[in-house]
Chain A
Amino acid sequence: MAQAVQKLMAKVPTLIGAAATYSKPRLATFWHYAKVELVPPSPAEIPQAIIGIKNIVTGVNSGRLGQTTVKDAFRNGLVCTEVLMWSYIGECIGKGGIVGYAV
C-alpha cells in the first residue's frame, strides 16, 4: 500500500509536466482568438454596434435575410447561440456558483 502511494507520488511531476505540454498550445490558440474576440468594445465602437444591430433589423424588415443560404443561416445561428450563452455564464458569476444557487 505504501509502495503504491510512493509510486503514485513519483509520477505526479511527470503528469503535471505532461498536462502543461498538452495545454500550452491549446492555451496559445485560445489566447490568440480571445485577444480579438473577447476584448470588450471600446466606447468608440458602441455606436457602430448600434448601427450594426439596426442593419440587421432593416434586413429582417426588407426580407433580405430571407435570401441567406442555409450554410450562412446555420453559421449565423451558431454565432447567435454563442452570444446568448454568455448570459448563462454571467448568471453563474452573479449567483456565485456553477450549479444551483447556494442559498
Chain B
Amino acid sequence: MHRKGGCQPPFKTARWSFLLIGMFYGKQRYDYLKPRAEEERRVEESEKKIREEQEKIAKALAEGKSKPIRML
C-alpha cells in the first residue's frame, strides 16, 4: 500500500528536524520559565504572609469594635 519509492528523504528529514527543533525549543522555554516561576512563588509567599498579618490585625480591630462594652 506504500507509494513507489517509500518515504522520500525531504519528508523524513523535515519530520525529524522539526521534532528536534521542537525538543530544543521546549527545553529552552522550560529553562526560561522555571526560575521565573520560582521567583514568583517566593514573592507570593512573602506577600501572603504580610497580607495574613494585616488581615489578622483588621479582624482583631473589627471584633474589638463590634464587641459590646461591658457595663462595669
Cβ 8 A contact of B10, one of A49, A84, A87, A88: A49
Contact assessment for B26 and A41 in the assembled complex, using a CB-CB cutoff below 8 Å: no
Which residues of chain A from 36 to 59 have a CB within 8 Å of any chain B CB? 36-41, 45-46, 48-49, 52-53, 56
A41 close to B12 (CB less than 8 A) = yes
Q: How far is the CA of A33 from the CA of B10 in the complex (A)?
A: 17
Q: Does more than half of chain A's interface fall in helix, strand or loop, or is it mixed?
A: helix
Whether the pair A36, B23 counts as a contact (CB closer than 8 A) is: no
Given contacts A36-B2, A90-B20, A103-B34, contact A83 B25 (CB under 8 A): no
Which residues in B have their C-beta under 8 angstroms from that of A96?
Answer: 26, 30
Once the chains bind, are A41 and B13 in contact (CB under 8 Å)? yes
Interface residues on A, range: 20 to 34
* Cβ-defined contact, A90 with B22, below 8 A: yes
Bound form: Cα–Cα A79–B25 in Å: 22
Neighbouring B residues of A49 by C-beta, 8 Å: 9-10, 12-14
B28: chain A residues at CB < 8 Å are 94
A10: Cβ under 8 A from any B Cβ: no
Residues A15-37 near B (CB distance < 8 A): 33, 36-37
